[in-house]
Amino acid sequence: MPSIKAPATKQAATLTVAVKCRPLTKKEQQKGRDIVQVKDDKEVTLLDPDLSKDYLDRVQNRTKERKYSFDYAFGPDCTNLDVYKTSISSKISGVVQGLNAAIFAYGSTGSGKTYTMVGTEGDSGLMVLSLHTIFDLIKSDTSSDDFEVTCSYLEVYNEVIYDLLEKSSGHLELREDPQEGIVVAGLRCIKVHSADKILELLNLGNSRRKMESTDANATSSRSHAVLEITVRRKQRNQYRNHIVCGKLALVDLAGSERASETNCRGQKLRDGANINRSLLALANCINALGKQRKKGLAYVPYRNSKLTRILKDGLSGNSQTIMIATISPANNQYHHTVNTLKYADRAKEIKTHIQTNIGTVDIHVADYQKMIDSLQIEVFRLKKELAEKESKLSVKPNEKAIDDQLSWLDVLSRETNESVQERINLQKALFELEEINLRNRIELQHLDDKITNEQAIGKDGTILQALRERRQVILDNIRDNDEAGASYQKEIEANEKHFCQLQDMIEKAISNNSNKTYLHILNQYRLLEMANTELQFEMAIRDQVIHNQREMQRNLWNLIMGLGIDERQIMKLAFEQGITIEDWTVTPLWGLSSMK
Ligand SMILES: Nc1ncnc2c1ncn2[C@@H]1O[C@H](COP(=O)(O)OP(=O)(O)OP(=O)(O)O)[C@@H](O)[C@H]1O
pLDDT in tens, 71-85: 999 999 999 999 999
163 plus 46 within the same structural domain = yes
Structural domain includes residue 589: no
261: exposed, middle or buried (Cβ count in 10 Å: 0-12, 13-18, 19+)? middle
pLDDT in tens, 222-280: 788 999 998 988 876 544 456 778 888 899 988 766 433 444 444 444 444 444 567 77
Boundary-marking domain end, from 331, 353, 375: 353
322 plus 383 within the same structural domain = no
Contact 370, 378 (CB under 8 A): no
Boundary-marking domain end, from 353, 388, 418: 353
Contacts (Cβ under 8 Å, ≥6 apart) of 300: 285, 288, 289, 292, 315, 316
The SS3 call for residue 253 is coil
Region 57-62 average pLDDT: 56
Which of 239, 329, 401 minimizes the C-alpha distance to 29? 329
Q: Is 206 in the pocket of ligand 1 (CB under 6 A)?
A: no
Structural domain includes residue 588: no
CA–CA separation, 301 and 278 (whole Å):
12
How large is the C-alpha radius of gyration of the chain? 28
Tell me the CA distances in angstroms from 459 to 94, 450, 571, one per residue in order.
45, 13, 22
Task: Evaluate the CA torsion angle 559, 562, 568, 572 in order and state its sign.
Answer: negative
293 plus 426 within the same structural domain = no
* Residue 579: predicted pLDDT: 61
pLDDT in tens, 375-418: 777 777 777 776 776 666 555 555 556 666 666 666 666 677 67
Q: How many CB atoms lie within 10 A of CB 492?
A: 16
185 plus 93 within the same structural domain = yes
538 plus 416 within the same structural domain = yes
Boundary-marking domain end, from 320, 353, 386: 353
User: What is the tally of structural domains in the chain?
Assistant: 2
pLDDT in tens, 540-578: 556 656 666 666 666 677 667 677 777 677 777 766 766
Beta bridge partners of 153: 227
Structural domain includes residue 587: no
Contact 3, 575 (CB under 8 A): no
Q: pTM (2 decimals)? A: 0.61
Structural domain includes residue 22: yes
Task: Return the residue whose CA atom lies nearest to atom 1 of ligand 1.
Answer: 22
Q: What is the CATH number of the domain that holds 83?
A: 3.40.850.10
| Helix 126-140 with 195-207: angle, nearest 10 deg | 160
397 plus 486 within the same structural domain = yes
**The Cα angle at residue 356 between residues 355 and 357, in degrees rounded to 5:** 120
Tell me the CA distances in angstroms from 237 to 177, 234, 240, 241, 245, one per residue in order.
31, 10, 6, 7, 17
Structural domain includes residue 107: yes
302 plus 373 within the same structural domain = no
CA–CA separation, 348 and 139 (whole Å):
34
Contact 290, 311 (CB under 8 A): no
Q: Which mutation among 38, 124, 217 tests ligand 1's pocket best, with the greatest number of atoms within 8 A of CB?
A: 217
336 plus 380 within the same structural domain = no
344 plus 402 within the same structural domain = no
User: Is 122 marked as a binding-site residue?
Assistant: no
DSSP letter (8 states) at residue 119:
B
Structural domain includes residue 68: yes
DSSP string over 290-315: HHGGGSS-----GGG-HHHHHHHHHH
Q: Which mutation among 26, 109, 114 tests ligand 1's pocket best, with the greatest number of atoms within 8 A of CB?
A: 114
Cα-to-centroid distance, 111 and ligand 1 (Å): 5
401 plus 349 within the same structural domain = no
Contacts (Cβ under 8 Å, ≥6 apart) of 60: none
Expressed as residue numbers, the domain containing 32 is 13-53+64-353
Structural domain includes residue 578: no
* Residue 4: predicted pLDDT: 32
Beta bridge partners of 581: 4
Q: What is the CATH number of the domain that holds 556?
A: 1.10.287
Amino acid at 51: L
Determine the longest span between alpha carbons in the chain, in angstroms: 89
Q: Band of the pLDDT at 14, cuts 50, 70, 90?
A: low
Region 491-517 average pLDDT: 73
198: exposed, middle or buried (Cβ count in 10 Å: 0-12, 13-18, 19+)? buried
349 plus 386 within the same structural domain = no
CA–CA separation, 245 and 162 (whole Å):
25
301 plus 370 within the same structural domain = no
Which of 341, 292, 337, 336 minimizes the C-alpha distance to 315? 292
Structural domain includes residue 182: yes
Q: Is pLDDT of 111 > 90?
A: yes
Q: Is 22 in the pocket of ligand 1 (CB under 6 A)?
A: yes
Q: Is 290 in the pocket of ligand 1 (CB under 6 A)?
A: no
Task: Return the residue whose CA atom lies nearest to atom 10 of ligand 1.
Answer: 112
Contact 5, 582 (CB under 8 A): yes
